[in-house]
Structure 1
Amino acid sequence: MKPTFTALAFAALLIPATGQAYAADASVSEAQYAQVLAGPWRAPENRARDGYRHPQQTLSFFGLAPTQTVIEITPGNGWYSEVLAPLLKDRGQYIAAVQAPGSPALAQKFAADPARYGNVRSLLFDPKAPVFGPPASADLVLTFRNVHNWVMADTAPAMFAAFFKALKPGGVLGVVDHRGPAGESLEAIKRSGYLPTTYVIELARQAGFQLQGQSEVNANPKDSKDYPAGVWTLPPVLRLGEQDRARYLAIGESDRFTLRFVKPGGPAPSGQ
């Protein structure tokens, strides 16, 4: 069942207002983050987005540990792959879940640098009937700026159900996406690419997840969310080209919610 906006007002009353990071016994160290974020294998255009995407703070909030099995859903050009794969290479497992038929560019990226990506596993999935490996096999499932696409394609409920199945009891789902005004209609969401936070919380709740926390690390108060081409007006897409380009560059990337959900039923996995 798709989340309804009538259910969202009630769901909003249950949300803990917290932005705290979660302590982890075996979390990634400051030195490890510093080494990887400064790594020469990271594409310059990707590194330039760090000020908007805050990878260290975001991954720390989600409880990333170097011993975990982590599934990233639709990594795109591998922006987070450049960070996650090296951190997990020696003691953990990074799995790139790519929508079928796959991404040749991402596969080439992995094949060209075995020192960083030699331990990466790639997984193809059908968004209408997604499967992300054996049940209860992952410690952490991550998705960055993808939920709006699944909402537009009417596949979001199936995706969240598959995340729940793939995670171990106590496992964590981390979600970052473009934050829209509360109470926005589904039609407006599909036009703009912006999602009300409570809509995503309800999607996760209906799949069985519990909201464990929210962070403002990826917030952007400059984002007015009222652009001619929706969220794609802003960088990095800049869909309007040179039209008002300086204005949109000054705003930066979109205002984003950062949500941490947990699969109930057991102790937190390693690193949580």
Structure 2
Amino acid sequence: MMRRLAASAAVLALAAGLSGCVIIASEGEERIVVADSSGPALDLGAPAYVSLYTDAVADPKRPAEEVARDPLRHPAEILAFAQLAPGDKVADVRPGAGYFTRLFSDVVGPTGRVYAFVPERTMARENPLADALVAAYPNVTRVNGLLDAMTYDQPLDMVFMSQEYHDFHIPGFNTDVAKMNAAVFAALKPGGRYILIDHEAAAGAGISAVQTLHRIEGDYLKREVEAAGFVFEGESAAVANPEDDHSLNVFDAAIRGKTDQFVYRFRKPG
């Protein structure tokens, strides 16, 4: 059975409630380990990072409209599952107004770097948003390019996409998704992480609903990413919603903001 993991000391009580989970929170500089009976333990970072995640979420610079979305987006859990650490170099692909970019900036700190990657296809609309992030956060850099040929000026620890991957299968983006995943693989350091959040589609739907409902089947996405050489490492249930039957467009008022979403972590071997 697919493992559903939520990993953050800020939400240890939540994780403890997952069936079959075992949580070990060690003292000092030991690391938090979350496991279930179906597989090996996953190392989710030093306990010291928990305060970085919660401090980032509590940062008064965050816009009020983004803070209001926190109960649905569970940012501390996502940061922990992504294993974000000080000094990391990360790419936030299509960051929009910067919900996650701001959080990443706070956690990676002055020795880290966050690349706000805006595809050439959408840069007329999205570059001003990215430039506002650059102006507010010294460790954020805007990058433009083709999704299926993205490059960065240094190897990355993490590439992150939230609710975007399905769009890149829409014909109007003119993106070869297999080449995009290969470009992400090349951009990452050995051991680097590829974090994907997206709206779940019905079982067997594949990419048939990417334009009509803005959903993608998680298993289909997983196969595509693994084909690029990545190893699937785990899944978080932080933004899952079992009440969503996957039949509505994600912008439908009845489900908007409350869709069933998967959060996958893949790793580049090495």
- Cα deviation 1:18-75 (Å, max 9, x = unaligned): 5264435557623222222122211111111111111111121111111211111110
AA aligned opposite 1:109: A
Contact conserved, 2:97 with 2:130, CA < 8 A, in 1? no
- Cα deviation 1:218-242 (Å, max 9, x = unaligned): 1012323223xx11214xxxxxxxx
Aligned partner (choices 83, 93, 108) of residue 73 of structure 1:
93
SS of the residue 1:232 aligns to: coil
* 1:19 counterpart residue number: 5
* 1:152 counterpart residue number: 170
* 1:142 counterpart residue number: 160
SS of the residue 2:133 aligns to: helix
AA aligned opposite 1:203: E
Shift of 1:130: 2.0
Q: Using a 3 Å threshold, how does the CA distance of structure 1 residues 119 and 186 change in structure 2: closer, same or farther?
A: closer
Contact conserved, 1:189 with 1:195, CA < 8 A, in 2? yes
Whether 1:41 aligns to 2:64 is no
* 1:212 counterpart residue number: 233
Contact conserved, 2:84 with 2:108, CA < 8 A, in 1? no
- Cα deviation 1:187-237 (Å, max 9, x = unaligned): 33331111111111011011111101111111012323223xx11214xxx
SS of the residue 1:190 aligns to: coil
CA RMSD of aligned residues (A): 2.2
Instruction: Choose between structure 1 and 2 for higher RCO, CA contacts under 8 A separated by at least 6 residues.
Output: 1
The normalised TM-score by structure 2 is 0.77
* Structure 1: segments with no counterpart, 5+ residues: 1-14, 235-246, 267-272
Contact conserved, 1:179 with 1:257, CA < 8 A, in 2? yes
Q: Using a 3 Å threshold, how does the CA distance of structure 1 residues 233 and 204 change in structure 2: closer, same or farther?
A: same
Q: Using a 3 Å threshold, how does the CA distance of structure 1 residues 182 and 112 change in structure 2: closer, same or farther?
A: same
Whether 1:257 aligns to 2:256 is no
Structure 1 distance, partners of 2:169, 2:161, is 14
SS of the residue 1:214 aligns to: strand
Structure 2 distance, partners of 1:28, 1:232, is 38
* 2:138 counterpart residue number: 118
Structure 2 distance, partners of 1:24, 1:188, is 33
* 1:169 counterpart residue number: 190
Structure 1 distance, partners of 2:195, 2:54, is 22
Structure 2 distance, partners of 1:24, 1:220, is 23
Aligned partner (choices 91, 97, 106) of residue 129 of structure 2:
106
* Structure 2: segments with no counterpart, 5+ residues: 8-41
* 1:10 counterpart residue number: none
AA aligned opposite 1:200: L
Whether 1:200 aligns to 2:221 is yes
Contact conserved, 2:53 with 2:79, CA < 8 A, in 1? no
Q: Using a 3 Å threshold, how does the CA distance of structure 1 residues 106 and 219 change in structure 2: closer, same or farther?
A: same
* 1:4 counterpart residue number: none
Share of identical aligned residues, percent?
30
* 1:85 counterpart residue number: 105
The normalised TM-score by structure 1 is 0.77
Q: Using a 3 Å threshold, how does the CA distance of structure 1 residues 191 and 90 change in structure 2: closer, same or farther?
A: same
Structure 2 distance, partners of 1:28, 1:124, is 34
